[in-house]
């Protein structure tokens, strides 16, 4: 009897190991996804990990692992390793026909596109003599747009330049765009007198017309970092300032154009609307650290917006704006506008803003 048991035990263990190795993945599903599709840098997102066992056979020990880019960090989570990526490992014990859901909070510190990858499920036989692995497709992606940055000083200077543009609007009135009736001024041409309105009002009244010239904001963004001691925080502030300015001007219904000093230059022609803004923000999630760029003092003199409106405000965002070599290499060819210069003060990056004067 003892001999029979000694023979049967290894056979039973082998049979169970064979059956487990064949069946453990059946009805087993893992879904790891972000609760949000996009957030802004500095905000939090959520990640949901759901493991479901749709068969009666239990899985006593199951490890689920995956990785994401290290620009996002888990808040108060365990079993994390950070190197070139953030690696997450979790252990589950599943009964038959059971699902387990865990939710984690992520701190999104840096803009970018974060994809869940290398999703692997692992299980073991009794006594951990054999390991089984199942690789799954990740694929879910989180877009972290550039952070919202205070650009109120830039916007205030833009409004000043807009005021100067508005003062010239009477020179560009469109005779086909009727705006209303007003009192006659000595500078008004006689052909604009509305004689019916004059008869009713008892004084000379003229037709007024609106200008259809588009107000355009053209942003020139420097993403280069050519110095030996990298200034990543200043570059990030430049990108955030450009994105924030585009958001605010889009909400005001103005045409936004963006040029970035990649090589060749990336140019978004002036347009209105959320779809145009979405394309800009999606582009600004890219990593520019290893991309070839054009020197900003050369880039800002390029004719990148051929045929743009005369009613335009140019904003030059670069950490090179205030440096001596940039001033020596600059010309008066470009349209005067606003200089936004990220600098470091008291250990943090801040944005200095001033109006540029031609010549």
Kindly report, residue by residue over 152-194, the tens digit of the pLDDT: 999 988 888 877 665 555 444 555 455 667 777 776 777 778 8
Q: What is the 3-state secondary structure (H, E, C) of the chain?
A: CHHHHHHHHHHHHHHHHHHHHHHCCCCEEEEEEECCCEEECCCEEEEEEEEEECCCCCEEEEEEEEEEECCEEEECCCCEEECCEEEEEEEEEECCCEEEEEEEEEEECCCEEEECEEEEEEEECHHHCCEEEEEECCCCEEEEECCCCCCHHHHHHHHHHHHHHHHCHHHHCCCCCEEEEEECCCCCCHHHECHHHHHHHCCCEEEEECCCCCCEEEEEECCCCCCCCCCHHHHHHHHHHHHHHHHHHHHCCCEEEEEECECCCEEEEEECCHHHHHHHHHHCCCCCCCCCECCHHHHCCCCCCCCCCCCEEEEEECCCCCCHHHHHHCCCCCCCCEEEEEEEECCEEEEEEEECCCC
- Considering the chain, tell me which residue range(s) the CATH 2.60.40.10 domain(s) occupy: 26-145
* pTM for this prediction: 0.81
The whole-number average pLDDT for the span 56-74 is 94
Q: Is 286's pLDDT higher than 60?
A: yes
List every span in the chain annotated with CATH 3.40.50: 152-167+213-355
Task: Look at residue 17 in the predicted model and tell me its pLDDT.
Answer: 85
Third-level CATH fold of 26-145: Immunoglobulin-like (2.60.40)
Identify the architecture of domain 152-167+213-355 in CATH: 3-Layer(aba) Sandwich (3.40)
pLDDT in tens, 226-278: 777 788 999 999 999 999 999 999 998 889 999 999 999 999 999 999 999 99
């Amino acid at each position: 009897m003892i001999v029979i048991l000694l023979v049967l035990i290894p056979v039973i263990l082998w049979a169970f190991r064979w059956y487990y190795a064949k069946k453990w993945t059946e009805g087993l599903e893992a879904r790891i996804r972000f609760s949000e599709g996009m957030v802004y840098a500095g905000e939090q997102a959520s990640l949901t990990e759901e493991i479901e066992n749709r068969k009666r056979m239990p899985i006593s020990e199951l490890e689920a692992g995956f990785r994401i880019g290290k620009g996002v960090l888990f808040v108060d989570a365990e079993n994390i390793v950070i190197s070139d990526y953030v690696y997450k490992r979790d252990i589950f014990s599943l009964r038959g026909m059971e699902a387990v859901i865990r939710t984690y909070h992520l701190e999104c510190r840096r803009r970018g596109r974060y994809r869940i990858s290398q999703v692997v499920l692992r299980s073991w036989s009794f006594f951990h003599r054999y390991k089984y692995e199942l690789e799954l497709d990740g694929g879910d992606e989180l877009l972290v747009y550039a952070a919202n940055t205070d650009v109120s000083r830039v916007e205030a200077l833009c409004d000043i330049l807009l005021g100067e543009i508005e003062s010239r609007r009477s020179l560009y009135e469109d005779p086909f765009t009727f705006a209303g009736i007003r009192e006659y001024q000595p500078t008004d041409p006689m052909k604009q007198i509305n004689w019916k309105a004059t008869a009713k009002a008892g004084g000379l009244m003229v037709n007024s017309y609106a200008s259809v010239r588009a107000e355009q904001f053209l942003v020139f963004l420097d993403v280069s970092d050519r110095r030996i001691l990298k200034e990543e925080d200043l570059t990030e502030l430049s990108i955030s300032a450009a994105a924030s300015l585009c958001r605010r001007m889009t909400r005001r219904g103005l045409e936004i154009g963006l040029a970035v000093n990649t090589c060749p230059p990336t140019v978004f022609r002036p347009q209105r609307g959320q779809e145009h803004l979405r394309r800009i923000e999606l582009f600004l999630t890219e990593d520019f650290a290893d991309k070839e760029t054009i020197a900003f003092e050369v880039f800002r003199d390029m004719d990148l917006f051929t045929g743009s409106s005369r009613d335009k405000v140019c904003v030059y965002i670069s950490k090179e704006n205030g440096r001596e070599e940039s001033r020596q290499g600059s010309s008066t060819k470009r349209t005067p506008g606003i200089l936004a210069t990220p600098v470091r003060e008291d250990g943090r990056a801040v944005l200095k803003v001033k109006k540029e004067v031609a010549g």
